[in-house]
Homo-oligomer: A and B are copies of this chain.
Amino acid sequence: MHKGDYQCQEPSCPTEVTVDVIGGKWKALILTFLLPGPRRFGEISRFLPHASKRMLTLQLRELEEDGVIHREIYKEVPPKVEYSLTPFGETLKPILLLMADWGEKYVGKKLKQLKQVESRTF
């Protein structure tokens, strides 16, 4: 069978493609946040208080380049920019929902684990 001899040579490895698109530090979070509908930059920023504006911008640009989100600029003063999932981006929905589900189920486990690490320092 030699199934073990298959090499994951980017970028032709399927899982690697997906990781490349949604694997960034904040990408899955951003995309999940966009699932219900368009969001302004400030909304995303407030949703992810630990991400700097700079990082957010960088991640949003990459998502845009990959064609999963759309950036709509309203010519107003002050400026207004809305981000939304493209039809292509919508195809990620099943993965994003599954990730949210799994995480919700195991938030407790993760919290307990972090507590143990904390207590080690004392």
Contact = CB atoms under 8 A, between A and B. Distances in A.
Interface string A18-49: 11110101001100110010010001001111
A106 interface: yes
Given A39-B4, A95-B98, A98-B94, A103 B14 contact: yes
A121 interface: no
Q: Helix, strand, loop or mixed for chain A's interface? A: helix
Nearest to A20: B110
Nearest to A117: B65
| Size category, A interface | 35 or more
Contacts of A33: 8
A7 interface: yes
Contacts of A67: 109
A11 to B, nearest CB: 5
Interface of A: 3-21, 23, 25, 28-29, 32-33, 36, 39, 43, 46-50, 65-67, 91-92, 94-96, 98-107, 109-111, 113-114
